[in-house]
C-alpha cells in the first residue's frame, strides 16, 4: 500500500477520529467512486448509441440529447439502455 496525506477540517477530523478504521473507509469510498464512474461512462456510451440510432431513424437528434458530460435522458420511455432494448425488440 502507498500513503496519501489528506487535510481535514476540524469537524471532519473529529468524525474521522471516532471511526474505528478511517483508512479502510476511505479506501472503500474510493473504490465505490471508481465503480460509479465506470458505470457512468458506460451509460454515456449507451446514451450516445441511442441518440445515434434515433438520428438514423428520424433524421434528427433527440430533442433532449446533450452531448458531453452533462446528463441526458430520463425520457418518458425510461433510461437509454431500456429504450435501446425496446428499439431492438421492435425490430425483431
pLDDT digits (tens, 9 = 90+) for 15-43: 999 999 999 999 999 888 887 766 766 76
Backbone angles phi and psi of 36, in degrees to 5? -65, -40
Which of the two residues, 64 and 21, has the higher pLDDT score?
A: 21
Percent of the chain residues topping a pLDDT of 90: 26
Q: Are 81 and 47 in contact (CB under 8 A)?
A: no
For 60, the grid coordinates are 434528427
**Which residue bears the cell 489528506?**
6
pLDDT of 61 > 90? The answer is no
Beta carbons within 8 Å of 86's beta carbon, 6+ residues apart: 77
pLDDT average, residue stretch 72-82: 51
Which of the two residues, 69 and 28, has the higher pLDDT score?
A: 28
Which of the two residues, 88 and 18, has the higher pLDDT score?
A: 18
Amino acid at each position: 500500500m502507498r500513503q496519501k496525506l489528506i487535510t481535514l477540517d476540524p469537524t471532519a477530523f473529529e468524525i474521522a477520529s471516532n471511526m474505528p478504521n478511517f483508512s479502510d473507509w476511505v479506501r472503500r469510498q474510493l473504490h465505490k467512486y471508481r465503480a460509479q464512474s465506470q458505470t457512468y461512462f458506460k451509460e454515456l456510451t449507451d446514451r450516445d448509441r441511442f441518440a445515434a440510432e434515433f438520428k438514423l431513424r428520424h433524421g434528427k437528434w433527440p430533442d433532449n440529447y446533450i452531448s458531453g458530460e452533462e446528463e441526458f435522458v430520463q425520457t418518458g420511455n425510461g433510461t437509454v439502455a431500456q429504450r435501446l432494448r425496446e428499439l431492438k425488440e421492435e425490430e425483431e
